[in-house]
Amino acid sequence: MPLSAGLFKSERRNSCPQCPPRLHVQFLTPVLWSRVPNHFLKVDVSRVNDRHGWLVTCSEPLQFMSLHIPEENRSVDILELTEQKDLLKFHYHTLRLYSAVCALGNNRVAHALCSHADEAQLLYAIENKYMPGLLRTGYYDLLIDIHLR
């Protein structure tokens, strides 16, 4: 039944119920959200002169870690994985696989993984207070397995 039959009692007897012309039906559409930084960047804006235009400089660049998905040719901020449980679980299991490969003193593989997941990435993942628990655990274990065992 149309929406108007459920809303308007006067339209129940009408064989072809319809909304009055002044009524506009609104509906929600799904939207893809992206993460924004937790703090604003400090940007300096100045005008050199009329001929050269504006000069915009950012003194403190923003650091973030992204996850590349080659099948879909896109990158996702690693903190967005809290909203995508399947990708979060997949990335956690990938980290566990890296840890398992480094087991039993496999130094050649551990050295190769050091170039794949370097110190800066590991420290960023561990120090970030917004990192999901599964990923934080995975990065801690990977750090221990690569560098300490």
Instruction: Flag whether 107 is in a domain.
Output: yes
Q: Are residues 16 and 78 in the same domain?
A: no
Q: Are residues 143 and 71 in the same domain?
A: yes
Both ends of the chain: CA-CA distance in Å? Answer: 67
The model's pTM: 0.64
Q: Name the residue range of residue 23's domain.
A: 1-31
Q: Are residues 23 and 81 in the same domain?
A: no
Q: Model confidence over 43-87: pLDDT tens digits?
A: 899 988 888 888 889 888 788 888 888 898 988 888 888 888 999
What is the Cα–Cα distance from 137 to 126, expressed in whole angstroms?
9
Instruction: Flag whether 133 is in a domain.
Output: yes
Instruction: Flag whether 24 is in a domain.
Output: yes
Q: Are residues 94 and 142 in the same domain?
A: yes
Instruction: Flag whether 132 is in a domain.
Output: yes
Instruction: Flag whether 40 is in a domain.
Output: no
Report the b/e string of 74-113 with b at 16+ CB within 10 A.
eebebbbbbeeeebbeebbeebbebbeebeeeeeeebeeb
Q: Are 8 and 18 in contact (CB under 8 A)?
A: no
